[in-house]
Amino acid sequence: MLPAMDIGLLQTSQMHQLALSKAVELVGEAAAGIVRKYPGFCDARSDLQLRPAVAVRNLLVHGYDGISFERLWDIANHDVVILSRSLEPILTDAGEDLP
């Protein structure tokens, strides 16, 4: 998700911290839209981890005890990548255009 950024830059740059927070928030918002629109799909495909993505989004937006930037880094570089790779074939099969 973040090929041009490293954890050191994230730890020292507020701009990069905010950008990463916003990017992960947007992934969670998209996941929330899928959960709302297709709850049966989400129940059948719990492996996609859409509800946890929504939970992270809620942590970021509402600030429930905060989240460390190290954890956010891990989420962006591991969890979001897995979610993206898992959704690609589903969206392709559904006829959705992918960037």
Confidence of residue 93 (pLDDT cuts 50, 70, 90): confident
Residues 6 or more apart whose Cβ sits within 8 Å of residue 72: 20, 21, 24
pTM confidence score: 0.82
- Residue 25: both structure tokens together: 């928030």
- pLDDT one-digit tens code per residue, 38-75: 899 888 998 999 999 999 999 999 986 778 888 999 99
- Residue 11: both structure tokens together: 């730890």
